[in-house]
Structure 1
Amino acid sequence: MFSRAFRVRSNTAIKGSDRRKLRADVAAAFPNLSAEQLTEFIPNKEELNVIKIYSHKGEAVTVYTTSKNPILFEVERVLYPTVYTLWVYPDLLPAFSTWPPVLQKLAGGADLMLPGVVVPSSGFPQVEQGTLCAVTLLGNRAPVAVGVATMSTAEMLAAGMKGKGFAVLHTYLDHLWEYGDKSSPPTLAPLVTDSAEEESTGGEREPEEQEPGSSTTDPLQQVDIGDLSLKETLVGKEELSEDRAAETAQDASTEVQQEAEDSRTPQEQMDALLSQCFFHALKCKVRKSELPLLTSTFLRSHMFSCCPAGQQLDIKKSSYKKLSKFLQCMQQQKVLQVKELSKGVESIVEVDWKHPEVRAFAVPEGFASASAAQESRSEGREQAYHAPEIIPLYGVSTKMVPLFQESGHKKGSILSSSEVRTIIINYVKANELVDETNKNFVKVNAILCDCLLDKAEQDEVSSLKWDELLSRCLERLQPLHQVTFHGQEPLVRKGNIEPIDISIAQRSANKKVTIIKNLELYGLDPQAVANLLQQKVQASATIAPVPGAKDRLQVQIQGNQIHHLAKMLLEEYQLPRKYIQGLEKAPKLGRKK
């Protein structure tokens, strides 16, 4: 559920009455929590926030956080604990163990299959289909995943430990875990002796030959991925089929081979690649004349082109997670300086090319010379550009709160147009406001009257058409928009997005110039656009601050160049026409004789 990034809709502090209700819901959902543990879990005075989010599949999820860590999430009125909670209360849910290499697959969104479940000598916990369960790694009782059993314990054994055993909802290392302090699982000793589990996975003696409580020197007592061998995984208890053992051995041997090739973790490898591409781009790609340079352009047009063949630069897999955090680190080392020239858009404004790390960087073999890379820079930039995804959103205003509070939304809640439509339709149906004589009309009650009608209309209008009802509602909500640039996290801004503005101005001697504004809002570098346009039309182009607008740049080029601009923005940059204003000012072409 949280294997991909989610969108936060609202984040508010919980009220006292809601806190008491939550504590009662937790007590009902997890009856094995004592009164003292319950008070510790849902504290009376510590800050407790409720966050409304949408998963990448569009599922509405409520998350409860304390001390900045998510402790619970709720889906369709069912409460689930997070791994942060289970590390404090490891016995809150019945637990099933799996092999360490399986964790990476679970964090990637996979469910837990029964061949990957370790069968202990003491037997499985007795659960029914639909029971909420925890998943642990062999040798550590600290849970790393939360899932729902897809069959009962008896059905698992009857199926020969084949098929899907648990539908996984949340794991250590997923995006919900990243929303907290990103701490690692504690090391908790299993309740049963290690020797009992070793017998179920790799011991050569039968369980009845081992006395309870006796010690063992089995190598699996200290569990390590690197210690899993083909011999240890093929010898198992009778309940484990040969297919399951062979599958586990193959996963383990693959993991060992990968570790032998590079002792560094994948995150450390990605950090090294990120640093290499960064210094390569600064040394060979960026020129002083290009500054200020949008950070998105720097990543897209310069850093990506410095990535060695056969490798892929993915900042999300690095320890920084975002380009902005990496650049902040480089700024602290005084390699460069980054400023927010326009709201929400950062640019590199200064680079220290004499910095020891820049001067010491050696360009890897196999790359073309710096001069050749500079010559192909403009062409590569245009091919790499991706138009941003722009989604209109709406914020609940003070006047509209009475209409939306029944659906659990408060002032400032952010909604899409489809969500607004669904909420309004549900409200009308719940309050039986559909006109019985004509279902195309909706009767206006007191709340609709206060929220949607002007004072002059309140005594005259008693019903509205469906489309008028929805359009009035959208007009009275606060306009917002979400912009998602390629390879970056979504950015929510207030108001409607300003279109790229193209205008024609008159200069001395009856000369005309074309002026382009708001390029930065669409991830376009004004300097890069000016350079490309100058090459296309062979006319002088300059960059200047926008009059009356702080930290905004405009491109000015001689002549009426709207035809060339339209072709570049619509065809090469693939920007929708609705986001470009002024194309109608293009000069009319004369008739051919």
Structure 2
Amino acid sequence: MFKKKPQVKNLSPLRSSDRRKLADQIIADYKVHVPTLEEIDPTCSATEVQAHQASHNPTPALSSTRTSLIPDTCLSARFTTHAGPDATLVSGTVYVGAHPGQEERILWIQYGKDARLYPTVYTLWRNPGLVPLLHTPDFVVDKLRTGADLMTPGLVGGPPWPEAAKTGSVVGVAGLERPSVPVWVGVCKIDVSSLGRVQGAKGAAVEGVHWEGDEIWNWSQTGSGGRAAPERIEGWELEIADIADGVTRVDLDDGDEDEGQEEGGVALEAPAAASQEAAGVDNVDEAPPGREPTTAEVDEAFVQAFLYAIYSAKRNGEPPHYGLDLPIQPSFLISNLVQPHLRVQTPHYTIKKTSWKNTKKFIKFLDKSVLVKSKDRNGGETVIVDIDFEDDRVRNFSPYRLPKPKPQAATAANEDNQTASNGGSDPSLGQKLTLQTLYRASSKLVPDLIPSKATCYTASQISSFLKRYIENHPELSKNATSSRFIKLDPFIANSILSSSPSISDTRTLAAGEIARDALLKRILDDSHLCIPHWLLLRNNQTYDPENPDPALKPKSGPPPHVNIVVEKRSGTKVATKISGLEVFGINPHLLGPELQKKCAGSASVGQLVGGKPGTLEILVQGDQRDVVEKELARRGVDRRWIIVEDKTKKKK
């Protein structure tokens, strides 16, 4: 859950009474055994026990247990983060404390509407036996650290399984190399304790919440990073021999394939396919990259993606509509419900490649399948007015692993995780952007005019090189008609004006001279002489061509821009589409809700049609170009970098 860095607000100390209540809640929820006076001192008389109970003072064992779970110096703070395939905003509370001789760490997490507290690995390392401990092969642990769920066939060491590992129970997971050290915390999605043989089973057994290596583990007030796990922890009730026997009992020759993988299920790459199945891995059923899918395959992918979206909404939302605003427009259906949940993100998987060809017929198909109820509106638009969330296809749906985003999207996500200077949840707010145009010279200009063709130079530097060249060749200024003009020499005539001659170049050659500013413009405008590059600098970044920063690498081609398209949709309705935001460090998932508030209308975020996988587009109702430009300006985007296309005007 915590792959992205949470925004933790200011920490505040807990009162002693609140700390005791919190510790008692944990003791009750996790059924922590607190020794009684009789267990501590068998010689204690009944009179002494009654006297102690009447005093209402905690026993030494209870005080010690409370302090072990919630240290005396415990602090709390609210946090927010984005989790899940839809980047849903999640808020909650973290409890920070330090055990003797150790640095402060996040010990407990409480999020959403669930009042339950989830322990972090630091708490489990300090309190052996707090939760049931499950085991899985170490190469599966590596995949779990990427945010995947633990599939049922990945469990080893049973049966029998821990009796407390029932549906909804919090469990820890350890690898086989260090079986006494939990490195992953999750919640049981099924009753693990009642399982028998798990090889060949389908579905996820445990849903991940937190693990060693995520942003909660990495958090510290001093910024020192996470603390490595110990090699061994005394106190966990383990039967190592039974675990080893469970591994040997894994049937690697089982030929069944798991087709119903849950969301984020572990996918193993290094081990062989037989080992993958033994570890509980469901492979993503993707079409080979060189083969175009059939129409039936695209149809099935669209239906599965819609079921996935409804299944996710039902898991994360509240009835009756589970967070979905009805009626659902056709554009919202494709961009927010279908495209993000397709198991294959390629240009072959579009509505045009289906047998329906358009969204209206796709909605009609869902209506005939009794999954939704649709209605035709004026203008020929068909919308979804109701969804059957209790349909067996939704309740029994088995989520699959969605494709990983491309590096461009990953880069934008990493930038979004950085803390904004203004302390807001959107790190792009208040940023200062500078779009710098650079030029890389071709071999025609090197070394006579420009010293190197491997370095990118600014326009002013190229102007200086040209000025120096003219100064080193005084014959160019002699007998010119004006001080603004220079005579042509063989280098200028052959290397510059003859690179891609035009009518103006022919006239210049015939005249035998050219204006200085016209020559500079001729050099910069000709891509055969100077190849344009661009570099986007953020906040206080600077770029020195003489001593370039390796982290700042100019990119070839024209400078990037934000596209704003205003067009008519379904009759007379107008919508505004915004794309090209990621390169400027703007997260569409954060800007979309902001535009929805500013424009007082619906806004959706989805895959850009025809764009690279991971490139997103925001769709806002109405002509909102002015509002969008103001919001982009708040995020450092200059008006010159925005291209507005109005498709609502009639063509002449």
Task: Compare the two structures and name the one with the higher helix fraction.
Answer: 1
**TM-score of Structure 1 vs Structure 2, range by shorter chain:** 0.3 to 0.5
TM (norm. structure 1) is 0.41
TM (norm. structure 2) is 0.38
Greater relative contact order (Cα 8 A, min sep 6): structure 1 or 2? 2
Structure number with bigger Rg: 2
